[in-house]
Amino acid sequence: MSTTAYEQPEHVAEVVVREPIEKARPTWIGRVRSADHKVIGTTLIGISLISVVVAGFLELLGWAQLSVPDNTLLTPERYYTLHTLSDTSYLYLFALPLLAGLATYVLPLQIGARSTAFPRLSAFGAWSIAFGAGALFFQLFLTQWQGGVNFNTSLAQLYYSTGAGADLWLSGVIMIGAGLTANAIDLAVTYKVMRADGMSSENTPVFAYTAAVYAYGILLTAPVLIAASLMMMLERQWDVFGIYNTVTGGDALLGKTLFGWWNNSAPYLVTLLAAGAVSEIIPVAAGTKLANAGAVKKALKFFMIFSVLSFGTVYFGGPVALGWNCVFMTLGLALLVPASVLVSSWIQTLRQGSFKSSAQGHFALRFILFFTLAMALHAALSIPTLGAWLRGSEAGYAAWHLLVWAAAATGGFGALLYWFPKITGKLFNDFKAKVACGMITIGTLIALLSMISLGLDGFPREISEYSDSLGGQARFIEAGLGTLLAAFGVIGLLINFIQSSASGSGAGNDPWHGHTLEWYAPSPPPVNNFDVTPAVDSDTPLLDIRSRIKSETAGLAGSVAQSPTSGRPSLRESKH
Amino acid sequence: MQNPAHTTLRRTRSTALFTSAVATAFAAVPQVASAGVVAPDSGASPTGDSINVLYLIVAVLGVLALLAVVASIVSAVRSPGAEGSDAGSSSAKPAVIGSVVVALALAVLGGLTLSGASTADQSASGTPTNLKVTPLQDPNLKVGHQVDLPKGPAIGVQVNGQQYLWRYTYLGKSVYSYHDLVIPVGVTVVLYVTSSDVEHNWWVPQLGSSIQAIPGYVNMGWIRADKAGTYNGASTVISGTNYQNMTTRVVAKSIADFDSWIENKTTELKDSATDLAAQKAAAEGEAK
């Protein structure tokens, strides 16, 4: 193993970068055996990018079915199967793995760590999610679970759902839940113990902080999903326990509570991580510090807390007393406070800096739009009478889709583009990515608005056919066409990813002039990320170094002052 | 370099754009509201109307917030940057105060409508009839959401969801029906919603009612149709492979029509019971 020392200005600690000992692209077996958080992260991102194609295809089949009243393209049975699988893929296989994968990749780099605390745990998590996906799709060869992504324990009783479908769905979800939990333990501990010297909690970059908050959110909710699913499987195998089944002395409300605890929080946890990434992208795109950084972190923390606590909205229209309804309403509406702090801070950041147009910046701006829309719908769903009315309608489905698709896609793809040069060492095609961003935004917006309108017109969220007299056809077609446009955008983006990672121009270490430590490492980072990290005394260490160099080299002409890493030769060719 | 006149012009233009968009939104909302395109289906019952109003309030606030966000993003992105001159002015306080005010206002409104929805119309007005609610008493069912019984004329109906239809039992009368809930116009109908198999949801959008039907529980709710007519709805919870058949229909009739419907139904049910008994007797006789 060879090490190379580069000359540095004396105020920067000596940087020793070890040559990568593994090939940048691990083989399949290398990928399975790897304990490198970067390989684990890209595995999760890979799972997510494959899943989004599958989920989108299934969703489009569903819209095709609904484009004609009383359509017979799909039998109701088939439709519910595809619908359930599509929704499950969006939440469990696209949104959560994409953002968890990015967090796994970026968190150690941002906090100046050489690895995560328990990389094998995260590796187990990633492959557990992959096997969970296998179990979910294996249903297609046997019987299928048709009860939707928000699991319904009374329908899942063996008497009403025979065959292995529900069992496969539950075991898939258990594996994915276990994978997310394992990954969350790793993220939380990494954040706690592996931060670089001088990185106090207020000096932690906002995305790293969000990753930790997300991890605690997962630890609060995913184990409940696992326990609830295990109990459901027990009850299906030996129906004597009386857990959820009223007939054997169980309680259907228990199932609603346990699954509701997870089902309500999961989409918000996805949005939380996306919001964290956007809080990183926007300041860099605007070339300034994040406004109200301390308040933003607090807002992200309370966003997690209130999104978990707003689970009581699943009871609206159901068996809860008036007083509890009011408590749940207040907890739900409380989410508006951290959300508006986030939005106003992003806007203030944009106002203070000067926005340099880039694809990831475009995605981040679109995220703000969808986030605001999602919060407006969240407010409507948090008011008991209105929430009960909307939740089961197509508008309630739109609210769900806003979080697990629109927010996850704009925030998640934006983040993926932002860190793409770091992950691959290549630059993507900015123009094509912007076109894809436009297509995804417009298509999603059309689909969502049509869905909201259908919901207000009295169409329920999971409907396999409708009669012509109800007059929803135009809007169903619109929703389908919008989804199709977004799907083309996604395909374009994926092609862009593949082409650019194969033949894009070299990105260098710091193409965006980032603020945080991941841009200090080479692209892609070597196995151990850093040998030495610079002194950290703010949440934007690279910005500090850059301004220090700028002030010390004020008399000198040249581009040295551009970036702390551009002064030294990169391991790879650097073209800015 | 920033031309101040240019900036002012741009600001004026974006303000004008913003104002006209808001005005258009306000003007457009009430016109299409009843169409169920931009606001919930309503116009037939007090609960439906209150939900419609609540939705419009949230929607207008949401649209305003969205427009404000879009406008400020556009202006922030277009302006070349204040380069530190504004740096000291950033604060999260206005956002906190603003959102707390909005959240509290929505909570108060939500609480008011909720108490309305939980207390069946207490005014003793309406057509004087001798209709009274006979409460459902079933020791096997846990009581979930409760509603204060009305003082005025009212009837009680047990709504039972079962794969894949609704059974309506008129409490205190020996009448039941499947699929259609026939109700008298202007009379409060107290619903006792339950399920005998899997979870369902009794939803009639225009009557503003969405009540969970959970096995083992009885959730109360109430509706009142102020206009005669047929109101359609659907269950919102997938209940199995024929879930699409799990539709809801409420038929509101004048009180006289309702009374005669009850009478006809009673005779019909009695006749069929007699017929059944006769057939049974005949079958038993043959068997002997």
CA–CA separation, A264 vs A160, rounded Å?
Answer: 25
Q: Quick one: pLDDT at residue B81?
A: 61
Residues of B in contact with A457 (CB under 8 A): 35-37, 41, 205
Q: Quick one: pLDDT at residue A545?
A: 86
Q: Quick one: pLDDT at residue B149?
A: 83
Interface with B, mutate which of A347, A445, A450 (most B CBs under 10 A) = A347
Please indicate if any CB of chain A lies within 8 Å of the CB of B111.
Answer: yes
State which residue of chain A sits closest to B241, comparing Cα positions: A77
Please indicate if any CB of chain A lies within 8 Å of the CB of B88.
Answer: no
What CATH number is given for B142-280 in this structure? 2.60.40.420
State which residue of chain B sits closest to A460, comparing Cα positions: B236
Closest-CA distance of chain B to residue A342, Å: 9
Q: Quick one: pLDDT at residue A7?
A: 45
Q: Quick one: pLDDT at residue A275?
A: 97
* C-alpha distances out from residue B44 to B39, B150, B225, Å: 14, 19, 6
Q: Judging by DSSP bridges, how do beta strands B165-170 and A16-18 pair with one another? A: unpaired
Q: Do A317 and B212 touch (CB under 8 A)?
A: yes
Q: Do A292 and B100 touch (CB under 8 A)?
A: no
What amino acid is encoded at B239 in this protein? S
Which parts of chain B register pLDDT below 50? 1-4, 29-34, 85-87
What CATH number is given for A3-562 in this structure? 1.20.210.10
Q: What is the DSSP string of B133-144?
A: ------TTSEE-
Residues of A in contact with B118 (CB under 8 A): 322
Interface with B, mutate which of A348, A382, A449, A469 (most B CBs under 10 A) = A348
CA–CA separation, A324 vs A241, rounded Å?
Answer: 29
CA–CA separation, A527 vs A545, rounded Å?
Answer: 24
Q: Which helix (H) or strand (E) holds B192?
A: strand B188-195
Q: Quick one: pLDDT at residue B2?
A: 44
* Nearest C-alpha neighbor of A210 from the set A278, A137, A260, A127: A278
* C-alpha distances out from residue A297 to A215, A281, A294, Å: 15, 15, 5
Closest-CA distance of chain B to residue A127, Å: 31
Q: Quick one: pLDDT at residue A10?
A: 47
Q: Quick one: pLDDT at residue B125?
A: 54
Name residues 139-158 of chain B within 8 A of A (Cβ).
Answer: 142-146
Name residues 188-247 of chain B within 8 A of A (Cβ).
Answer: 195, 197-199, 201, 203, 205-206, 208-212, 214-217, 219, 221, 232-244
Closest in B58, B59, B92 to A341, CB measured: B92
Closest in A334, A351, A464 to B76, CB measured: A351
Which parts of chain A register pLDDT below 50? 1-10, 12-14, 21-22, 558-564, 566-576
Closest in A288, A345, A462 to B238, CB measured: A462
Could you give the angle at the alpha carbon of A210 between the alpha carbons of A417 and A526, nearest 5°?
55
CA–CA separation, A52 vs A256, rounded Å?
Answer: 28
Residues of B in contact with A341 (CB under 8 A): 92, 95-96, 99
Q: Do A345 and B58 touch (CB under 8 A)?
A: no
Return the domain boundaries, chain A.
3-562
State which residue of chain B sits closest to A317, comparing Cα positions: B211
Closest in B37, B142, B237 to A392, CB measured: B237
